[in-house]
Chains A and B, each alone.
Chain A
Amino acid sequence: MEQKHPLGGRVLNGPFVFFLALVALGAYFTVQRFTYGLGAVTNMNDGYPWGIWIALDVVVGTALACGGYSMALLAYAFNRGEYHPLVRPALLTSLFGYSLAGVSVIIDIGRYWQAYNIILPWHSNLHSVMFEVALCIGTYCLVVWIEFAPAVLEKLKAERLLKRLNRVLLVFIALGILLPTMHQSSLGTMMLMAGYKLSPLWRTAFLPLLFLLTALIIGFAVVMYESLYSSVAFRLPKETPVLSKLATVTFWCLLLFMVIRIEDVNLRGVLPLAFDGSFVSNMFLLENSFLLGGLFLLMYPGNRKCPKLLFLAATCLLIGGGLYRFNTYITGFDPGNGWQYFPSAGELCITFAIVAVEILGYLWCVKRLPIFSAHTPQTTSV
Chain B
Amino acid sequence: MKIPRRDFLKLSAGGGLLLATVGPTAALASTEKKALPPEAVGILYDSTLCVGCQACMSACKVANKMPIETDDTYKRSDTPQDLSAKTLNIIKRYQDGNGTAKDQEKDGYAFIKRQCMHCLDPSCVSACPVSALRKDAKNGIVSYNKDACIGCRYCQIACPFNIPKFQWESTTPEIVKCQLCNHLLKEGKYAACCTACPTGASLYGPMEMLIAEAKRRLRLEPGVYADFPLNRIGTDSPPRTTSHKVGQYIQHIYGENEVGGTQNLMLAGVSFSKLGLPDLPDEAFVRLADGIQYAIYKGMAYPLALLGALIYMIRKGENNGEQIDKG
Which of the 9-residue segments B94-102, B219-227, B231-239, B308-316 touches chain A? B308-316
* A110 and B153 contacting across the interface, CB-CB below 8 Å: yes
| Most B C-beta atoms less than 10 A away, residue of A111, A150, A186 | A111
* B11 and A256 contacting across the interface, CB-CB below 8 Å: yes
B131 CB → nearest A CB, Å: 5
Bound form: Cα–Cα A264–B26 in Å: 14
A299 CB → nearest B CB, Å: 7
The tally of CB-CB contacts under 8 A between chains A and B is 238
Closest to B302 in A: A182
| Given known contacts A84-B325, A125-B128, A150-B326, A76 and B317 CB-to-CB distance under 8 angstroms | yes
Return chain B residues, CB-CB under 8 Å to A194: 157-158, 285
| Most B C-beta atoms less than 10 A away, residue of A35, A44, A174, A301 | A174
Return chain B residues, CB-CB under 8 Å to A185: 296
Bound form: Cα–Cα A37–B166 in Å: 12
A-contact 0/1 string along B111-141, CB 8 Å cutoff? 0000000000001011111111000000000
Q: Tell me, yes or no, whether A164 is within 8 Å of chain B by CB.
A: no
B-contact 0/1 string along A96-133, CB 8 Å cutoff? 00000000000011111011011010011101111110
Which of the 9-residue segments A201-209, A233-241, A276-284, A353-361 touches chain B? A201-209
Q: Tell me, yes or no, whether A232 is within 8 Å of chain B by CB.
A: no
Return chain B residues, CB-CB under 8 Å to A174: 307, 310-311, 314
* A255 and B23 contacting across the interface, CB-CB below 8 Å: no
Q: Tell me, yes or no, whether B73 is within 8 Å of chain A by CB.
A: no
| Given known contacts A39-B169, A174-B314, A112 and B150 CB-to-CB distance under 8 angstroms | yes
A351 CB → nearest B CB, Å: 18
Bound form: Cα–Cα A96–B61 in Å: 47
Identify which of residues 225-269 in chain A touch chain B, using a CB-to-CB cut-off of 8 Å: 248, 251-252, 255-256, 259-260, 263-264, 267
Q: Tell me, yes or no, whether A28 is within 8 Å of chain B by CB.
A: no
Q: Tell me, yes or no, whether A288 is within 8 Å of chain B by CB.
A: no
B212 CB → nearest A CB, Å: 30
* A47 and B162 contacting across the interface, CB-CB below 8 Å: yes
Return chain A residues, CB-CB under 8 Å to B22: 205-206, 209
* B160 and A50 contacting across the interface, CB-CB below 8 Å: no
Give the interface residue-count category, chain B.
35 or more
Q: Tell me, yes or no, whether B35 is within 8 Å of chain A by CB.
A: no
Q: Tell me, yes or no, whether B301 is within 8 Å of chain A by CB.
A: no
Identify which of residues 1-53 in chain B touch chain A, using a CB-to-CB cut-off of 8 Å: 1-3, 8, 11-12, 14-16, 18-19, 22-23, 26-27
A-B contact pairs, 27 of them (CB 8 A): A36-B171, A37-B173, A42-B168, A79-B316, A79-B320, A85-B325, A108-B152, A112-B150, A114-B148, A114-B150, A117-B148, A118-B150, A125-B126, A128-B154, A150-B327, A170-B314, A174-B314, A178-B307, A178-B310, A182-B303, A190-B289, A196-B160, A205-B27, A251-B3, A255-B15, A259-B12, A337-B162
Given A84-B324, A109-B152, A127-B293, 17 other A-B residues pairs in contact with their CB atoms under 8 A: A37-B168, A37-B169, A42-B168, A108-B152, A109-B150, A110-B151, A114-B148, A123-B131, A132-B293, A166-B326, A170-B318, A192-B292, A193-B158, A195-B123, A208-B296, A209-B22, A336-B162
Residues of B within 8 A of A (CB): 1-3, 8, 11-12, 14-16, 18-19, 22-23, 26-27, 82-84, 123, 125-132, 146-154, 156-158, 160, 162, 165-174, 276, 278, 280, 285-286, 288-290, 292-293, 296, 303, 306-307, 310-311, 313-318, 320, 322-327
